């Protein structure tokens, strides 16, 4: 989620959002102190003081921001266990291991004793660069690398100071090693022994960080901290939260986005054993739904299915994918705002021209854990348990919906079963819905926590899709493949318009639609952008704009190479020149390790190549594919990855493979959400088809060595997969692939 | 009232006999290791064993479990079952999980599959794929699942 340039401007955008909220409520954003010193009375658990508290009980370090305070991030128990709090949603990408690795490196912790835990919407857990709680844009490691190093170094300095005091020696005579402070003559004290004394010491503001050549945790292939818990059913997710008295709600939604509810017959629903209440609740986008609240999910869902509801569909927009495509084609032919504006005169005289139209559908994120959010509401406070990528925006939205101040909202971030963007929503749709249900339940006399849980069908049909897009290109080039003019039109709904991030839309162009177009190729391009308005809610989907722009760009590059009889790798390398060394390095690595151009492929297979930068990382793929009974088959993938310094190579491998599989999901039959007469046609994994193990290619991931500060890897593995696969298929069929899912008929 | 034998213990649940095993486990008994993914036997996240067979608990009513033994992820990986323990160990060794939500179901499918093999038989790659094809992982951990199942099979010889 979020485009590459997002980080540069977001603090201003978010600041604006918060200021607006403050103006409305008169309340300042909280710097709450619920992370009080647990060990103040000498408890077993050592904790460093949280220093921005109003209590004034904590010593010095007042110049540090909440995001810089070790107390909010490191707890050291007397047995030496180090618990690191993560400032992100863990939803598969591995930050619950990566961030503790970074902190533990500078702390010089014993890795076998390092644990991690989830954070909250406390100010300490804001992204240090965005100034808000957010997980997206493959930014967790990128933006918190320095932060977590410094946090670890501060904690280490406090432990050293505690040992120096205990032994009455100069701190300079001490060193640390794997959770132990070591003094002259081999005298030792464990971090666990020192934690309580260290707690009482001032937090140093300035610390010296390690020379990366001394790293012993960062860069080492490390098994995830949660690997065990996730392999025996012990890992808790948001859906697993069970509070005393908790009820579960399932919500009936309109069959067409925005349809009005005209009548409710809930007699049969109320008769279902376990059903407690049937409540009308406001829905996202001004619609209305009906929540059935019951002892558990099955009773609530059975009740929901027994509702007899009437909807007024007469005045509501009914999107139809086939008609939509015709409209998009008409739009593409019209003039519109230009994101790039090169001179197109050379098109008329170009020795060769190429014209192409691309269509990609709506896509559901379909994370394996259905959306859910548990709300415990009281008169002046609300507490939520939810796997959310956007606690910052959610806090503001929750306060607004419930008539509370932001500081009365506590979000306990829960480990999530995937998300891919769906758990980071500018409108906070599923969090707001759970609050509406909680509010209605409380008004109806149920003063208990309520978990709102979506069925898979609710998720598939519930909108917030990757938008459908149409691209049209007309390219003029010479016999050597030099592009003389590239006229390009892009049509698709804007993700950011009308949201809190709307300020990023400039000249009526949403940057999340155009990211990945043009660069790094030095082509004279004119890029016209149209953002039609439709009532289908849209959202970022893992790697956002690059989900379609990489497909379009990288298949067209191959088309030009093929038209001019050039090898697609040689052609790209020549275009990269000296300007794009990371692209060159990633592609070269994939080429070398795959045997591209050298190895003999089995009959019926072809090579495909693509490379793409997104979120500041570059991933190149060399693939082997075939066509079997009209179906595209991906056999083997070799990845070349440039993400600068690698924190956990095992995690990078996992993220590249995982993102590639999600990329593959766009290519294979059934990877589409379509609408007919306003009704979403897919409902579950039977008709929105995602890859299974039988679709999985052999897969090798190779990483370009680098010492530069790390860039993210949650999303960059996705974009280049589809075009590499398509380029191989085009080699086999002689026909370029212009649609996702691939249409080989 | 229905009586279910879960992980070797008889437990009574006061829910409609048509209630899927999944929801009796999760909401009534608080055993949350078994996951809800699709509710339609399409994704495998809810896989448990019924008399040793891998079944989809989201579509199997508790009435179908009377007189039978239900085994869930909690018992399969608690060390008491050598096959479950081998699969659990292989899953950790290969660092399979990403979000981890589907992995209870993956592990229950893998365990049932390995138990179904004749003693000493090593599965082919195609057999592993076929056995695991009913379990979706949206994070795309399939390469490591393959490696872990093969490794667990080897360790059981």
Give the domain extent around A438. Answer: 238-315+371-453
CA dist A294 and A541 (Å) reads 33
Name the residue with tokens 């079952």.
Answer: B81
Take residue A667 and report the two structure tokens written for it: 């290519």
Q: Which neighbouring-strand residues pair with A278?
A: A292
CATH of the domain at A422: 3.30.365.10
Nearest Cβ partner for A232 among B19, B77, B95: B77
Examine residue A621 and state whether it is found in any structural domain, yes or no.
yes
Q: What is the DSSP string of A394-449?
A: HHHHHHHHHT--GGGEEEEE---S--TTTT--TT-HHHHHHHHHHHHHHHTT--S-
Q: Does B132 touch chain A (CB under 8 A)?
A: yes
Do A246 and A203 lie in one domain? The reply is: no
DSSP state of B26: I
Examine residue A646 and state whether it is found in any structural domain, yes or no.
yes
Do A489 and A614 lie in one domain? The reply is: yes
Q: Inter-chain contact A92–B139, Cβ cutoff 8 Å?
A: yes
Backbone dihedral angles phi then psi of residue A215, each to the nearest 5 degrees: -60, 135
Backbone dihedral angles phi then psi of residue B121, each to the nearest 5 degrees: -80, 130
Backbone dihedral angles phi then psi of residue A391, each to the nearest 5 degrees: -60, -25
CA dist A661 and A649 (Å) reads 18
Contacts of A657 in chain B (CB under 8 A): 140-141, 143-144
Counting as low any pLDDT under 50, the low residues of chain A are 2-13, 15-47, 49-60
* CB-count exposure of residue A455 (10 Å: 0-12, 13-18, 19+): buried
Examine residue A678 and state whether it is found in any structural domain, yes or no.
yes
Q: Inter-chain contact A367–B39, Cβ cutoff 8 Å?
A: no
Q: What is the DSSP string of A36-70?
A: --TTTT--SEEEPPPTT-TT--S-S-TTS-GGG-G
First to last CA, chain B: 43
Q: What is the DSSP string of A74-137?
A: EEEETT--EEEEESS--SSS-HHHHHHHHHHHHHT--GGGEEEEE-BSSGGGS-TTTSS----T
CA dist A515 and A299 (Å) reads 45
- CA of A310: how far to CAs of A261, A270, A289, A668, in Å? 6, 17, 11, 37
Residue ending a domain, choose from A201, A231, A261? A231
Can you tell me whether residue A559 is helix, strand or coil? helix
Q: Inter-chain contact B138–A228, Cβ cutoff 8 Å?
A: no
CA dist A655 and A617 (Å) reads 12
Closest-CA distance of chain A to residue B55, Å: 17
CA dist B132 and B103 (Å) reads 11
Q: Taking Cα atoms as reference points, which of B129, B141, B71 lies closest to residue B101? A: B141
The answer to whether the bond into A9 is cis (omega within 30° of 0) is no
Examine residue A738 and state whether it is found in any structural domain, yes or no.
no
Q: Which of residues 57-86 of B touch A (CB under 8 A)?
A: 72-74, 77-78
Q: Inter-chain contact B95–A684, Cβ cutoff 8 Å?
A: no
Do A249 and A226 lie in one domain? The reply is: no
Contacts of B95 in chain A (CB under 8 A): 223-224, 227, 650, 654
The predicted-structure confidence for A417-464, as pLDDT tens digits, reads as follows 999 999 999 999 999 999 999 999 999 999 999 999 999 999 999 999
CA-based nearest residue in chain A for residue B140: A658
Examine residue A396 and state whether it is found in any structural domain, yes or no.
yes
Contacts of A225 in chain B (CB under 8 A): none
Q: Does B117 touch chain A (CB under 8 A)?
A: no
Take residue A139 and report the two structure tokens written for it: 């930014």
Q: Inter-chain contact B74–A232, Cβ cutoff 8 Å?
A: yes
Contact call for residues A132 and A392 (beta carbons, < 8 A): yes
Chain A to chain B Cβ contacts (< 8 Å):
185
CA dist A10 and A6 (Å) reads 6
The predicted-structure confidence for A218-250, as pLDDT tens digits, reads as follows 999 999 999 999 999 999 999 999 999 999 999
Looking at A168-266, list the stretches that DSSP marks H as alpha helix, in order from N- to C-terminal side.
191-199
Q: Does B1 touch chain A (CB under 8 A)?
A: no
Do A357 and A468 lie in one domain? The reply is: yes
Q: Inter-chain contact A686–B42, Cβ cutoff 8 Å?
A: yes
Q: Inter-chain contact B32–A236, Cβ cutoff 8 Å?
A: yes
Closest-CA distance of chain B to residue A365, Å: 9
Take residue A157 and report the two structure tokens written for it: 């300095």
Task: Provide the angle, in degrees to the nearest 10, between the axes of the packed helices B142-155 and B103-116.
Answer: 40
Residue ending a domain, choose from A210, A231, A252? A231
Counting as low any pLDDT under 50, the low residues of chain B are none
Backbone dihedral angles phi then psi of residue A677, each to the nearest 5 degrees: 50, 35
Neighbours of A18 (CB within 10 A): 20
- CA of B3: how far to CAs of A342, B17, B59, in Å? 74, 10, 18
Sheet-wide strand order for A450-453: A275-282, A288-294, A247-252, A450-453, A372-378, A381-386, A409-413
CA dist A744 and A628 (Å) reads 11
DSSP state of B3: E
* Chosen from B100, B125, B126, B145 to mutate, greatest number of chain A CBs within 10 A: B100
Domain count along chain A = 3
CA dist A421 and A574 (Å) reads 35
* Chosen from B39, B109, B140 to mutate, greatest number of chain A CBs within 10 A: B140
Q: Taking Cα atoms as reference points, which of A546, A553, A528, A552 lies closest to residue A339? A: A528
Nearest Cβ partner for A273 among B16, B20, B145: B16
Do A57 and A113 lie in one domain? The reply is: yes
pLDDT at position A58: 43
Take residue B54 and report the two structure tokens written for it: 């891998």
Examine residue A12 and state whether it is found in any structural domain, yes or no.
no
DSSP state of A284: G
Q: Which neighbouring-strand residues pair with A77?
A: A45
H-helix or E-strand spanning residue A391: helix A391-402
Cα radius of gyration rounded to whole Å, chain B: 15
Take residue A155 and report the two structure tokens written for it: 């904690």
Q: Taking Cα atoms as reference points, which of A448, A446, A419, A443 lies closest to residue A431? A: A419
Do A290 and A425 lie in one domain? The reply is: yes
- CA of A695: how far to CAs of A131, A689, B106, B132, in Å? 41, 11, 16, 12
Task: Provide the angle, in degrees to the nearest 10, between the axes of the packed helices A546-563 and A721-733.
Answer: 30
Examine residue A222 and state whether it is found in any structural domain, yes or no.
yes
First to last CA, chain A: 33
Looking at A602-745, list the stretches that DSSP marks H as alpha helix, in order from N- to C-terminal side.
649-667, 721-733
Do A214 and A103 lie in one domain? The reply is: yes
Do A92 and A110 lie in one domain? The reply is: yes
Can you tell me whether residue A495 is helix, strand or coil? coil
Backbone dihedral angles phi then psi of residue A376, each to the nearest 5 degrees: -120, 110
Nearest Cβ partner for B73 among A233, A661, A698: A233
pLDDT at position A424: 98
Torsion of CA A127, A130, A134, A136, to 10 degrees: -110
CA-based nearest residue in chain A for residue B43: A685
Nearest Cβ partner for B101 among A237, A298, A686: A237
Q: Inter-chain contact A242–B30, Cβ cutoff 8 Å?
A: yes
Contacts of A223 in chain B (CB under 8 A): 92-93, 95
Q: Inter-chain contact B135–A693, Cβ cutoff 8 Å?
A: yes
Residue ending a domain, choose from A418, A453, A488? A453
CA dist A337 and A729 (Å) reads 34
**Residue A190 falls in which region: left (phi positive, over 0), alpha (psi -120 to 50) or beta:** beta
ipTM value for the complex: 0.98
Please give the sequence-ordered ranges of beta strands (E in DSSP) within A257-371, or none if there are none.
Answer: 260-265, 275-282, 288-294, 308-312, 338-341, 352-360
Do A603 and A719 lie in one domain? The reply is: yes
Q: Taking Cα atoms as reference points, which of A45, A30, A43, A132 lies closest to residue A82? A: A45
Contacts of A233 in chain B (CB under 8 A): 32-34, 72-74, 77, 104
Nearest Cβ partner for B33 among A226, A234, A657: A234
Closest-CA distance of chain A to residue B8, Å: 18
Examine residue A18 and state whether it is found in any structural domain, yes or no.
no
Do A344 and A211 lie in one domain? The reply is: no
Walk me through the domains of chain B, giving residue ranges and CATH numbers: 2-75 (3.10.20.30), 77-155 (1.10.150.120)
Take residue A37 and report the two structure tokens written for it: 């010193």
Take residue B90 and report the two structure tokens written for it: 């292989």
Do A430 and A401 lie in one domain? The reply is: yes
Do A195 and A288 lie in one domain? The reply is: no
CA dist A552 and A738 (Å) reads 8
CA dist A271 and A269 (Å) reads 5
């Amino acid at each position: 989620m979020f485009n590459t340039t997002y980080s540069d401007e977001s603090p201003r955008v978010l600041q604006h959002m918060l200021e607006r909220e403050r103006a409305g409520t008169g309340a300042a954003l909280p710097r709450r102190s619920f992370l009080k010193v647990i060990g103040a009375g000498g408890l077993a658990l050592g904790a460093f003081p949280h220093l921005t508290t109003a209590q004034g009980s904590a010593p010095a370090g007042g110049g540090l921001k909440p995001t810089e305070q070790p107390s909010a991030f490191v707890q050291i128990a007397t047995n030496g266990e180090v618990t690191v709090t993560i400032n992100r949603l863990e939803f598969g990408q591995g930050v619950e291991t990566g961030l503790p690795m970074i902190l533990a490196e500078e702390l010089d912790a014993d890795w076998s004793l390092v644990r991690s835990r989830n954070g909250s919407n406390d100010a300490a857990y804001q992204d240090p660069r965005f100034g808000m709680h957010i997980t997206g844009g493959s930014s967790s490691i990128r933006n918190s690398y320095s932060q977590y190093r410094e946090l670890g170094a501060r904690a280490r300095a406090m432990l050293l100071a505690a040992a120096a005091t205990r032994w009455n020696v100069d701190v300079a005579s001490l060193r640390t090693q794997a959770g132990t402070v070591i003094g002259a003559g081999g005298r030792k004290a464990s971090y666990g022994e020192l934690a309580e004394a260290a707690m009482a010491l001032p937090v140093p503001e300035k610390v010296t960080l390690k020379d990366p050549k001394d790293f012993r945790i960062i860069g080492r292939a490390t098994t995830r901290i949660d690997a065990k818990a996730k392999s025996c059913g012990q890992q808790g997710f948001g859906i697993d939260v069970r509070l005393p008295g908790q009820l579960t709600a399932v919500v009936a939604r309109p069959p067409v986005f925005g349809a009005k509810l005209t009548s409710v017959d809930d007699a049969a629903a109320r008769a279902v054993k376990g059903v407690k209440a049937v409540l009308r609740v406001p829905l996202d986008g001004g619609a209305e739904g009906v929540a059935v609240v019951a002892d558990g999910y099955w009773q609530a869902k059975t009740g929901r299915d027994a509702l007899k509801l009437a909807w007024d569909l007469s005045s509501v927009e009914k999107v139809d994918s086939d008609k939509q495509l015709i409209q998009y084609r008409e739009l593409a032919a019209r003039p519109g705002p230009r994101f790039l504006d090169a001179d197109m005169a050379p098109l008329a005289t170009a020795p060769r021209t190429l014209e192409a139209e691309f269509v990609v559908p709506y896509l559901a994120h379909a994370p394996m854990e259905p959306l859910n959010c548990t709300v415990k509401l009281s008169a002046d406070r609300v507490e939520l348990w939810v796997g959310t990528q956007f606690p910052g925006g959610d806090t503001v939205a929750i306060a607004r919906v419930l008539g509370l101040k932001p500081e009365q909202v506590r979000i306990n971030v829960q480990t999530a079963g995937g998300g891919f963007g769906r758990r980071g929503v500018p409108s906070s749709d599923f969090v707001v819905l759970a609050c509406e249900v909680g509010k209605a339940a409380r008004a109806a006399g149920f003063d208990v926590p309520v978990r709102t849980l979506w069925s898979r069908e609710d998720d598939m049909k519930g909108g917030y899709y990757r938008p459908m897009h149409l691209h049209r290109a007309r390219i003029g080039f010479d016999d050597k493949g030099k592009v003389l003019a590239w006229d390009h039109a892009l049509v698709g709904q804007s993700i950011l318009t009308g949201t809190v991030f709307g300020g990023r839309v400039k000249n009526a162009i949403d940057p999340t639609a155009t990211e990945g177009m043009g660069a790094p190729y030095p082509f004279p391009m004119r890029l016209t952008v149209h953002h039609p308005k439709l009532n289908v809610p849209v959202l970022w989907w893992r790697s956002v704009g690059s989900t379609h722009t990489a497909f379009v760009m990288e298949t067209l590059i191959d088309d030009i190479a093929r038209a001019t009889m050039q090898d697609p790798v040689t052609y790209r390398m020549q275009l990269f020149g000296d300007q794009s060394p990371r692209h060159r390095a990633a592609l070269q690595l994939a080429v070398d390790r795959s045997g591209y151009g050298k190895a003999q492929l089995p009959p019926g297979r072809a090579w495909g190549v693509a490379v793409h930068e997104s979120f500041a990382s570059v991933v190149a793929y060399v693939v082997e594919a075939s066509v079997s009974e009209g179906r595209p088959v991906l056999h083997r993938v070799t990845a070349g990855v440039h993400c600068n310094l690698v924190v956990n190579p095992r995690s990078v491998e996992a993220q590249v493979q995982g993102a590639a599989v999600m990329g593959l999901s766009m290519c294979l039959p059934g990877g589409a959400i379509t609408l007919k007469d306003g009704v979403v046609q897919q409902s579950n994994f039977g008709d929105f088809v995602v890859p299974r193990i039988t679709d999985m290619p052999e897969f090798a991931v190779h990483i370009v060595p680098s010492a530069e500060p790390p860039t993210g890897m949650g999303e960059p593995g996705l974009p280049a997969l589809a075009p590499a696969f398509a380029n191989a298929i085009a080699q086999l069929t002689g026909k370029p692939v212009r649609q996702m899912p691939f249409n080989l008929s | 009232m229905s009586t279910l034998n879960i992980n070797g213990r008889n437990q009574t649940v006061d829910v409609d006999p048509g209630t899927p095993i999944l929801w009796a486990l999760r909401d009534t008994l608080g055993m949350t290791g078994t996951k809800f993914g699709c509710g339609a036997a399409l994704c495998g996240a809810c896989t448990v064993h019924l008399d040793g067979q891998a079944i989809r608990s989201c579509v199997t009513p508790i009435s179908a479990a009377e007189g039978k033994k239900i085994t869930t992820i909690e018992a399969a990986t608690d060390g008491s079952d050598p096959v479950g323990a081998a699969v659990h160990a292989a899953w950790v060794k290969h660092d399979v999980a990403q979000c981890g939500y589907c992995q209870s179901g993956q592990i229950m499918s893998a365990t049932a599959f390995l138990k179904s093999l004749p003693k000493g038989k090593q599965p082919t790659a195609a057999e592993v794929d076929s056995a695991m094809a009913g379990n979706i992982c949206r994070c795309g951990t399939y390469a490591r699942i393959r490696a872990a199942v093969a490794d667990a099979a080897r360790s059981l010889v």
